[in-house]
Amino acid sequence: MRRQPLILGGGPAGSAAAITLARGGARPLVIERTRETGDALCGGFLSWRTLETLARLGVDADTLNHSRVTRVRIFARGRVVETALPAPAIGVSRARLDSLLLDRAMSGGAAVERGVVARAIENGAVRTGDGALLASGALFLASGKHDVRGAARPADARGVDPTIGLRTRRRGADVARCVGDVIELHLFDRGYAGVVLQEDGSANVCLAIRRSRLTEAGSPDALLSVLASELPAFADRLAGNATPVEAIANVPYGWRAIGGNDGCFRLGDQAAVIPSLAGEGMGIALASGVSAAKAWLTGEPSSAWQTRFARQTVRPVAVASAIRAMAERPPMIAALLPIAARLGLIDAVAAATRVGQS
């Protein structure tokens, strides 16, 4: 009999792996560093492809949000283009998404231990905060953007001017009316902001910016004030009641795990980090969790699976990275947006940045 698989992280990637393993007859153990499910900064948009994966995992879209996102709207240097999404999507808080997925994993037979901090990975085993060493038949590394000593992503993946993620929520009838059933992208120098309504009606405002731009502004709040003065439409989205600005540093957009060591499956952001403007971060998380679990159940070595999944993410990550490079230079992309919309190129990019579910 094979030993119990160990999943490090109770987010979407870890939960997807746990659900799939349990369905296959395994009894995985999930260790999660938080005692209560929080609201992670990234991943508030779920594409149509991601909703299909969630349905196969037993999570219906209506349990996350009854409303649908049907269009994308892009702002750049005073230009605005809008087009329909290839299929309806949703906005949802990570607190709700993560809670429902982890509950589904537990109801399916996975064991979950919360408040367990992973300090290091040593020869395929996890060293916890209290000094214990947890060994397993297979390790599924699903720690999201948080690296673990012994399996950290390379520091040079961050680049010379690394990306900072910022998030705030805005609530108010005027804000909700502005956004509606749309996922918005507001492009500006060295960054962009995404805006979408979540299940409670609040507008989730997420920014990906270069550190140099934040340094020039002095603080996240000062940066928002500067952007509001530069971008009138974005200023409208910042009206209403506000939550404090949260931040995460050094997001290695474009990084992929090309190979791996036998016995360790890298999932989600530990497998590939797609620029957030693609709206496919949760798609990668879920797809990697399901695919890696199926690989383990069929006896495929983790190194072979990691290489295979890396090939699966080549096109989505490359396309999203190229679009991001243009988006951070609004003068370059603003003139192209109307042409792209007329030719259907925005739809083509949306399709090209989805992750295959094979």
Question: What are the tens digits of pLDDT across the range 298-353?
Answer: 999 999 999 999 999 999 999 999 999 999 988 888 888 888 888 787 888 888 99
Question: What are the tens digits of pLDDT across the range 241-250?
Answer: 999 999 999 9
Residue 107 maps to a domain: yes
Tell me the pLDDT of the chain averaged across its residues. 93
pLDDT reported for residue 350: 86
Residue 175 maps to a domain: no
Cα–Cα distance, 244 to 342 (Å, whole number) = 39
Q: Is the pLDDT of residue 159 over 90?
A: no
Give 357's pLDDT tier (boundaries 50, 70, 90).
low
Q: Stretch 263-287: mean pLDDT, rounded? A: 95
Which has more confidence, 316 or 260?
316
Residue 86 maps to a domain: yes
Residue 1 maps to a domain: no
Number of structural domains, the chain?
A: 1
pTM for this predicted structure: 0.95
Residue 20 maps to a domain: yes
- Phi, psi angle pair for 50, to nearest 5°: -65, -40
CB 30 within 8 A of CB 14: yes
* 110: nearest Cα among 24, 180, 206: 24
Give 1's pLDDT tier (boundaries 50, 70, 90).
very low
* Range in 93-102, 103-112, 117-126 with the lowest mean pLDDT: 117-126
Which helix (H) or strand (E) segment holds residue 114: the answer is strand 111-114
According to DSSP, the residues that pair with 247 across neighbouring strands are 166
Question: What are the tens digits of pLDDT across the range 45-63?
Answer: 999 999 999 999 999 999 9
> Measured at the alpha carbon of residue 356, what is the angle toward residues 350 and 358, in degrees to the nearest 5?
165
Residue 208 maps to a domain: no
CATH code where residue 149 lies: 3.50.50.60
- Domain containing 55: what range? 6-157+252-352
